[in-house]
Amino acid sequence: MRYLPVCLDLHGARVTLVGAGTVATRKARLLARAGAQLQVVAPDIAPGLTQLLTEHGGHWREGEYRDADLEGSALAVAATPSSAVNAQVSRDATARGLPVNVVDSPDLCTFIFPSIVDRDPLIIAVSSSGQSPVLARLMRRKIESLVPAAYGRLARFAGRLRDTVKTAIPADTPRRLFWEQVMEGAIAEQVLVGREERAQAMLEERLADTERLYTGEVYLVGAGPGDPDLMTFKAVRLLQSADVVLYDRLVSEPILEMARRDAKMIYVGKQRDDHAVPQEQINQLLLELALAGNRVVRLKGGDPFIFGRGGEEIDQLAAHQVPFQVVPGITAASGAACYAGIPLTHRDHAQSVRFVTGHRRDGSLDLPWESFRSSNETLVFYMGLVGLPEICAQLIAHGRRPETPVALVERATFAEQRVLAGTLQDMPAIVEREQPRAPTLIIVGDVVKLRDSLAWFGGGAEPA
């Protein structure tokens, strides 16, 4: 990140604007809206800029720029047709320690103007770091369509009641949780439609309900198989609102980057024979964090209710009446199959699909092998890498053809995804040779044969 976004208070501050043409007028309007006192320096001035100075009380000094024009200024902007003059303004301002912007010359700037969505006092700035102003403006238009003008009214409502809420809820974390619930709930909706008196009454009623103020919430969120683009809108929204995030080893770094910067991140990953935090301790931690008033996201790879032990984690929350939500995610079977170009069901090859855990709670592979013999059913084994030789042997022993196609998908949906294809008979040797590493998923069935023709259209992963 080359530029740090900041918000400057320019109300009543003197700003030197060198240049008075069309481009300078656009900058002048923006600065005037921020309350700056404009000192314009140029031999000639555009009529629109003259009117702007009259309305906002600025001043135009007719003549060529000189270093003394920067005296007493908070920052400087150069917008002249002369590259030499612009460069001189940049050097002089930098020597004085003043922030300086030279229009269309990022190398001469110490700050740049972003594209702005103005919902005063809510301000949203979009910047391409000077690389593509057109793209920044395009993004601004997209954001404008998503943020109604009434959000400014909501910001003013919150500002007016900040002290009231702070008095009722002195602690920072419960207060932030309260405001997040207000901004995403019925109180905000009342403000957005102009019913501010009703909204204030609702807020005060909520503040009086002290039993509800200090209990947080828990969200079991499915992060999907790895690609951040596969997360749901709701999953992203809740992740970005969390005070604390508990995540496992299957959650990718790009997804973790979506969390709020000041959120507390707690790793509770588990893998075969190596549990960083025992499941019982995770359950207790979720409860304790919520009772302390935190908004907690339990972030899980795939889907929380498909081999994710989500049911165990909400049992204790429900017993203590802690509010929780479960947000489904794309399970690894769907992500791996799609990105590998393998349909899990197909009219000609498989009329059903079964998800199977690759090892039981005690680490054994005591599975109902007799029920897996149908050639019209696709089998998907989770966490089956270590047990793959036994899986293949047991399936053959219980009626599956040795030449039944098998695919092992390594790091599904990631850029480094790899697919190993073979049969029940030769897959153990292929795995021994290729040495894939977890996380992996095993797909068994005739649908795997379709991969050669569909892989390029599944998710962009190149066939291995």
Residue 355 shares a structural domain with residue 435: yes
Domain boundary among 174, 191, 213: 213
Active site residue 142: no
CA geometry: angle 435, 437, 441, nearest 5 deg = 110
**Domain presence at residue 4:** no
Domain boundary among 85, 113, 141: 113
Mean per-residue pLDDT for 250-275?
Answer: 83
Residue 207 shares a structural domain with residue 221: no
What CATH number is associated with residue 102?
3.40.50.720
Residue 169 shares a structural domain with residue 240: no
**Domain presence at residue 453:** yes
**227 annotated to bind ligand:** no
What amino acid occupies position 231?
Answer: M
**Domain presence at residue 221:** yes
pLDDT on residue 99: 97
Question: For residue 459, is pLDDT > 90?
Answer: no
Which tens digit of pLDDT belongs to each residue from 57-84?
899 999 999 999 999 999 999 999 999 9
Query: What global pTM score does this model have?
Result: 0.59
Residue 287 shares a structural domain with residue 404: no
**Domain presence at residue 184:** yes
* β-bridge partners, 123: 118
Cα(28)–Cα(20) distance, integer angstroms: 9
**Domain presence at residue 323:** yes
- 248, 264, 274, 366: which one is catalytic? 248
Domain boundary among 193, 213, 233: 213
Burial 203-216 (b: 16+ CB within 10 A, else e): beebbeeeeebebb
User: Is residue 212 a contact partner of residue 234, using CB atoms and an 8 Å limit?
Assistant: no
Cα(279)–Cα(447) distance, integer angstroms: 36
Residue 365 shares a structural domain with residue 416: yes
Range of the domain at 297: 217-330
What are the Cα distances from residue 180, in Å, to 66, 148, 191, 274? 51, 18, 15, 37
What CATH number is associated with residue 390?
3.30.950.10
**1 annotated to bind ligand:** no
**306 annotated to bind ligand:** yes
Residue 427 shares a structural domain with residue 401: yes
Residue 326 shares a structural domain with residue 339: no
Q: Which of 248, 459, 439, 225 is nearest to 329 (CA)?
A: 225
Burial 371-388 (b: 16+ CB within 10 A, else e): ebeeeebbbbbbbbbbbb
Of the two residues 243 and 89, the one the predictor is more confident about is: 89
Residue 21 shares a structural domain with residue 43: yes
Question: For residue 275, is pLDDT > 60?
Answer: no
**332 annotated to bind ligand:** yes
Residue 203 shares a structural domain with residue 222: no
**225 annotated to bind ligand:** yes
- 118, 264, 270, 449: which one is catalytic? 270
pLDDT on residue 272: 56
**302 annotated to bind ligand:** yes
What CATH number is associated with residue 228?
3.40.1010.10
Of the two residues 226 and 364, the one the predictor is more confident about is: 226
Q: Look-up: residue for tokens 């302390």?
A: 292
Active site residue 248: yes
Question: For residue 432, is pLDDT > 90?
Answer: yes
Which tens digit of pLDDT belongs to each residue from 291-339?
887 889 999 999 999 888 888 888 888 888 888 889 999 999 999 999 8
Residue 309 shares a structural domain with residue 416: no
Q: Residue 55: which pLDDT band, with cuts at 50, 70 and 90?
A: very high
Mean per-residue pLDDT for 102-129?
Answer: 91
Question: For residue 351, is pLDDT > 50?
Answer: yes
pLDDT on residue 171: 85
Residue 256 shares a structural domain with residue 206: no
Number of domains in the chain: 4
**Domain presence at residue 257:** yes
**Domain presence at residue 119:** no
**Domain presence at residue 169:** yes
Residue 205 shares a structural domain with residue 224: no
